[in-house]
Copies of this chain bind each other. A is one copy, B any other.
Amino acid sequence: MGLLFFLFLATTISDGSPAKETIPGDKVLLLGPGTGPGVDRAPGLSCLSWRLAVETNNIIDWNTVPGQCEDYIGYYMLGQQYRKDSAMVTNQALLHAQSLTVGRDGKDVWVFDIDETSLSNSPYYASQGFGAEPYDATSFNKWVLEAKAPALPESLKLYQKLLSLGIKVVFLTGRPEDQRNVTSSNLRLVGYHTWEKLILKQTSYSGETAVAYKSSERGKLVKSGYRIVGNIGDQWSDLLGTNPGNRTFKLPDPMYYIG
């Protein structure tokens, strides 16, 4: 599936039905053979159960979306349910932020992951079977260098409201340091106009897990006197480990897993 398919879906799947993903008779429900390469095909697998188990961290260390769930995940990502699920999370995040007493010292920060949290790579993943095809670093990095990832609308709204509450934003991403310029350009282009820090992964962390890298960088923040009042990401590896923050918020992402 290419970008054309993405645009087709984006145009047609927007009737606001919360159940679009599971309408009987819809090809999504049939869960027929996907078009991705050879992945495990568990007969009778419920894609809804698979997605829930992924989001709750019960299924870990997975490589690709099961072939028969490719269409299901595609509809989910491009339809209304992904947006609604994201809004439910960012609304909770905002309620938490509004309950805080923000310090006058400017040391209250909220940690944002970038990919599938601040920026959406759905246009790219539409060409990759929405995660049904194995991760391809070459084509993904090419997409990143184009700097045209759209904002996740619910996350951008949260970002704006946090700033208005006096909370500063720290971006903490697994993107490598050599993608700093293109990342900051992309962020600014879609509305993330300011930040306290933009932390990218140094080569010194190569071979370390995402949990170890992100815990270490959050530890540095805390050591510098920052208070991490919130932390939002699409991967559990953004939210587990040490110094996770006062509260963590898990956005949906059924397309890929980072441990």
A positions within 8 Å CB-CB of B: 17-19, 21-24, 29, 46-50, 52-53, 55-59, 81, 84-85, 87-89, 92, 249-250, 252
Contact = CB atoms under 8 A, between A and B. Distances in A.
User: Which residue of A29, A47, A58, A85 has the most chain B CB atoms within 10 A of its CB atom?
Assistant: A58
Given A58-B92, A58-B249, A249-B58, A53 B22 contact: no
24 contacts: A18-B22, A18-B29, A18-B46, A18-B47, A18-B49, A19-B29, A19-B48, A21-B22, A22-B23, A23-B24, A48-B84, A48-B85, A49-B81, A49-B84, A49-B87, A50-B88, A52-B52, A52-B88, A53-B88, A53-B92, A56-B89, A58-B88, A58-B250, A59-B92
Nearest to A47: B18
Contacts of A55: 52, 55-56
A59 to B, nearest CB: 6
B56 A56 contact: yes
